[in-house]
Amino acid sequence: MATTINSTARLQSYQTLLYARSLRSEFAHCADSRTAIQDYYTLNLFIMPGSHACVFTSVDGCATEYVTDNTLGNTEIGLVESIICSAEKDFEHHIPRTKINYITAAQTEQLSSHIYNDTFEELDQLARDQDAIAHRWNDRAGSCLSLVDIQKFADQVHIQSYHLIAAESLVLRTQTIFELKTKK
């Protein structure tokens, strides 16, 4: 499928930013948020059009994943890593001086318009069925969707996200695990 300059630019601008600190205050104007509390950790989710943030907090520290095509002010403070999301990427990092281990994978695809629309319908239904945190909006080309779904376990949380951008027929999928590791 042919790609326009604008869609290539947007595709190349998506990144996963990992911070060794909380960024909760930076997402005060998010479209929606949710908090998941488990015995050993708290996960705060924030969703915005085309982006999301996950703030994982345990008794000994904090880590924030921010998936976006935009940047925040003060993006360097506490930044551990920045990973471009284009194509397929995997990354793992242990947050220093904590028990928090972070594992993520990202995939991006540009689809034909009819496959994009089918994918949108399927993921929109998934968001409803799973009661995932989701935000729907329209851009100049049609319906867009950002959704984040989680599975909680005693010492880890699994996070799946999808961002569908109609103007580029772009689908970005991330799969993340925050886990508490015991030192050996």
Per-residue pLDDT tens digits for 82-110: 898 887 889 999 999 999 999 999 999 99
pLDDT of residue 5: 30
What is d(CA 68, CA 58) in angstroms, rounded to the nearest whole number?
A: 24
**Mean of per-residue pLDDT scores for the chain:** 90
What is d(CA 151, CA 153) in angstroms, rounded to the nearest whole number?
A: 7
Higher pLDDT, 25 or 141: 141
DSSP structural state of residue 168: G
pLDDT of residue 25: 80
Residues with Cβ within 8 Å of residue 115, at least 6 apart in sequence: 169
Proportion of the chain above pLDDT 70, given as a percent: 90
pLDDT of residue 88: 86
Mean pLDDT, residues 130-159: 97
Does residue 1 carry a pLDDT above 50?
A: no
Does residue 154 carry a pLDDT above 90?
A: yes
What's the Cα-to-Cα distance from 64 to each of 29, 70, 176, rounded to whole Å? 17, 16, 11
Lowest average pLDDT, out of 13-17, 69-73, 100-104, goes to 69-73
Burial class (CB in 10 A: 0-12, 13-18, 19+), 72: middle
Mean pLDDT, residues 150-164: 97
Nearest residue to 174 via CA among 62, 57, 50, 71: 50
pLDDT of residue 99: 96
The pLDDT tens digits for 31-64 are 999 999 999 999 999 999 999 999 999 999 999 9
